[in-house]
Amino acid sequence: MRIYLYRFWQCSWGMLQTLAGLILFFKHYKCKHYSYHGAIITEWSDKSSISLGMFVFVSAEPFFVKKYEGRVSAGECSGRLLVHEYGHTIQSLILGPLYLIVIGIPSFLWAFLMGKKRREKQIPYGAFFTEKWANRLGERVTGEDSIGDMVLD
């Protein structure tokens, strides 16, 4: 029942981002897909990850795995990234049509425009408000660990 409510809410209140996610889903229809707490996950070859409504696109091999080699397994890195991205889907449920403005654009800027500065100063990805909130929501809903204070190079 929760999955149906989640998907209904994403398709109504979160319609804008879910529609964008659906378009991206069809563009990557040959990739591996599966369901995770109601979200539709696509593992793609891109090194970045994105959440659009109930559609989550995660890197099959997160770029930061090598940094944590020996401390955190590649599978755990992927799982933590998934929990983080799932947190963004919960933000979509909360914010609805405001998600792209409040979360999407600032997250994009943090990821790509501030990436070099974050790497140089070793600033955790979760230091930015949109990402910290996604981590907390993902952890609360799934009961699993997110990327938390990991520094993503």
The per-residue pLDDT string of the chain (153 residues; one tens digit each, 9 = 90 and over) reads 789 999 999 999 999 999 999 999 999 999 999 999 999 999 998 888 999 999 999 988 766 655 566 666 767 878 899 999 999 999 999 999 999 999 999 999 998 888 788 888 988 888 999 999 999 999 999 999 998 877 776
Q: What is the pTM of this model?
A: 0.92
CA 70 to chain centre: 24
Residues 6+ apart with CB under 8 A from 72: 80
- In which element (H, E) is residue 7 found? helix 2-12
Strand ordering across the sheet containing 55-59: 32-36, 39-44, 55-59, 50-52
Is residue 59 within 8 Å of residue 46, measured between CB atoms? yes
